[in-house]
Amino acid sequence: MNFGNRTPTIVVLKEGTDASQGRGQIISNINACIAIQETLKPTLGPLGSDILIVTSNQKTTISNDGATILKLLDVVHPAAKTLVDISRAQDAEVGDGTTSVTILAGELMKEAKPFLEEGISPHLIQKGYRTAVRLAVDKVNELAVNVSSGTQESTREMLERCAKTAMSSKLIYNNSVFFVKMVVDAVLSLDRNDLDDKLIGIKKVAGGSMEDSMFVDGVAFKKTFSYAGFEQQPKKFTNPKILSLNVELELKAEKDNAEVRVENVADYQAIVDAEWQIILNKLNQVEETGANIVLSKLPIGDLATQYFADRNIFCAGRVAAGDMDRVIKAVGGAIQSTTTDIKAEYLGSCDLFEEMQIGSERYNTFRGCPQTKTCTLLLRGGAEQVIAEVERSLHDAIMIVKRALQNKIVVAGGGAIEMEISKYLRDYSKTIAGKQQLIINAFAKALEVIPRQLCENAGFDAIEILNKLRLAHSKGEKWFGVDFETESIADNFAKFVWEPALVKINELTSATEATNLILSVDETITNKESAGPAAGMMPPQGGRGRGMPMQ
């Protein structure tokens, strides 16, 4: 067939593939991200609401933590997933600011939308945003205050203020005096060189009030599975020797279909005696080490439990690997994989070991450990959802305190730093010409979403308070932000509403990167999963497809 000058249509993509492109596609992606932003907006700040999420398996979660909400929302829009990713990254990197980073990214996209509709190239907007975020980060570094004076008391005071600010928007805010001390004690108990927050054990025990929660300056874990004889063992020791094993101390059952042929009864008795002798030798070797407490990752059976009970030795088998690692970090010693040749230096020690009742559970606690590089928080609460939210709140506060201890530079919270950067970028935009002036001004306007949303969630008049803040910052009051106590504005630095500068820097850079990523995508190709064979592979009517059986 002669097509003349016409080029035949060539189909490259699978039938049913959805390909959307152009400016409309960018705006569509922005709208999806704004929908995510609208979901999270009410949760921002000390007076933000909580969201109740019910998953497909009917598990309920009540939270106002941005990363937790987005993780449970099951977002399917490919562009909106970018906001989920930056929220998770913020949570992993600095622990707090997960809601702020999502709201800021959504607002930057919202500000970019009118420019796109007027025909401005997305690349120009990206360039303007990159310039603005560079200036903003430099300004944060310039404004940040180093509050390390070297003394232990002042460092602790600074950490407590940062922890209290992190808790201001959480469920535990009303109990913040109690929890702030717990969080700071927990972080200060870690090794200062690496500050590994995974060594802070968190155990949840239902029942009681939140202030029944306990801080253990060592290790606590739930009583493990126990055999007969366990109750006869002593449950409290002072200065005990602790042996950690990875050895099974019980009579092993024969494997299925195992066969032993014996000629007479004496031979059978010899096999039974040998089996008992093996485990008794192990138990004798453990006793000879002088250990008062024997822990093992593997089971400690009923024979061994009774043996230890008769000799006033405490034992616990099937200790979880994470708990065992933290015990070793706290009490010293090393895990032994055999009971032979155990030297004194392989044993750990602590000031006090006690098995105690907490709520409906029994817990083994090791306190006053010589090498304490770990601690345990035992959380209490009336309902499982409450305890889970307390745990999330404490995680954010622990991460904030950890970052503040590593980088002792802080800025004022409550929208103060955002208003100051906004004012700085507006002033800068007046010094340049062209479209970049408008774009940098739009970035400055987007930053005001944080103080505005704080006011709206608290029920304040956002327009009036924002006008007061703009006036204060134009007069050089760089730390003025929203004051929830007076429903007005105040110097938040003087009121000790402090946040690590790292949180704000990470927030600004992540939000801008996400926005630029969305602006750079102007085509989406969605491959539909075909229900049957691909188009063009269907067998002809009345015939057989490849591999079909003969009739």
Give the DSSP H or E segment for 363. Answer: strand 361-367
Q: Is 463 helix (H, G, I), strand (E, B) or coil?
A: helix
Beta partners for 278?
none
For 339, the token pair is 């009971």
Cα–Cα nearest to 355, from 219, 185, 208, 189? 219
What's the gap between Cα 258 and its chain centre?
A: 49
Cα–Cα nearest to 489, from 409, 410, 419? 419
For 259, the token pair is 């066969």
Q: Are 329 and 185 in contact (CB under 8 A)?
A: no
Q: What is the DSSP track for 93-113?
A: HTSS-HHHHHHHHHHHHHHHH
For 31, the token pair is 């709208």
First to last CA, the chain: 40
What's the gap between Cα 89 and its chain centre?
A: 10
Beta partners for 409?
146
- CA 27, 31, 37, 42 torsion-angle sign: positive
Q: Are 515 and 103 in contact (CB under 8 A)?
A: no
Q: Would strands 293-296 and 498-500 be described as parallel, antiparallel, or unpaired?
A: unpaired
Q: Would strands 241-245 and 293-296 be described as parallel, antiparallel, or unpaired?
A: parallel
Cα–Cα nearest to 282, from 328, 340, 333, 240? 340
Active site residues: 65, 98-99, 396
Q: Which long-range contacts (CB under 8 A, 24 or more apart) does 174-183 make?
A: 175/210, 175/211, 178/210, 178/211, 178/213, 179/210, 179/213, 179/393, 179/394, 179/397, 180/397, 181/215, 182/213, 182/215, 182/377, 182/394, 183/394, 183/397, 183/398, 183/401
Give the DSSP H or E segment for 19. Answer: strand 18-21
